[in-house]
Amino acid sequence: MEARIDKIKQQLQSQGYKLTPQREATVRVLLENEEDHLSAEDVFMLVKEKAPEIGLATVYRTLELLSELHVVQKLNFGDGVARYDLRGDNTKHHHHHLICVQCGSMQEILDDWLGPLEERLEKEFQFQVIDHRLDFQGICKKCQEKEKDQQADQ
């Protein structure tokens, strides 16, 4: 954990930015919740526990800065809030999502099926891939069952 913070500190400093206490607290929250997709508001509430004086604007500015440095990735599931994911050293940042259009639930699948496609893109389009995102919209198991029940009722 400390090692990863040090690395982020270096990334910041190499661009002339400082790892202030507020930024460090924010990064720690991201590290401790690496599995989640936290919104800015989520991060804010968690950071407040460590640094109660922090302002929401600072959290936004920090997340924005970390995005620019590619330390975190900004995600959008279409629910009106941006979410922020740490880009692991372990670069297992290839999440894929199954988003149910009926109940809004979101399930994550972790495989990375797209390596070969990325290679093809770099060749055919000279597009240098940093990350990708693959979301499936559809109807989850539960909602399919609900639908069947409703049809049975009618």
Partner DNA sequence: TTAGGTGCAAATCTTTTGCAGAAAG
Partner DNA sequence: CTTTCTGCAAAAGATTTGCACCTAA
Is 51 a residue that touches DNA (CB under 7 A)? Answer: yes
Does position 53 interact with DNA (CB under 7 A)? The reply is yes
Which member of 8, 29, 38, 40 binds DNA (CB under 7 A)?
40
Query: Residue 58 interacts with DNA (CB under 7 A)?
Result: yes
Distances in Å between the alpha carbon of 149 and those of 56, 79, 103, 118, 141?
45, 27, 16, 42, 13
Q: What are phi and psi of 109, to 5 degrees?
A: -125, 140
Q: What is the CA 127 to chain-centroid distance, rounded?
A: 22
Q: How far is the CB of 43 from a second copy (least distance, A)?
A: 17
Determine, following the binding rule CB under 8 A, whether residue 57 of this chain makes contact with a second copy: no
Q: Which of 78, 88, 104, 115 binds a second copy (CB under 8 A)?
A: 78
What is the chain's length? Answer: 154
In the list 90, 128, 150, 154, the residue contacting a second copy (rule: CB under 8 A) is: 128
Residue 77 DSSP one-character state? -
**48 neighbors 29 (Cβ within 8 angstroms):** no
* Furthest-apart CA atoms within the chain: distance in Å: 66
Q: Which is nearer to a second copy, 6 or 136 (CB)?
A: 136
Bridge partners, residue 86, by sequence: 72
Minimal distance in Å, beta carbon 82 to a second copy? Answer: 7
Instruction: Give contact residues for DNA (rule: CB under 7 A).
Output: 12, 16-18, 20-23, 39-41, 51, 53-58, 60-62, 64, 80-82
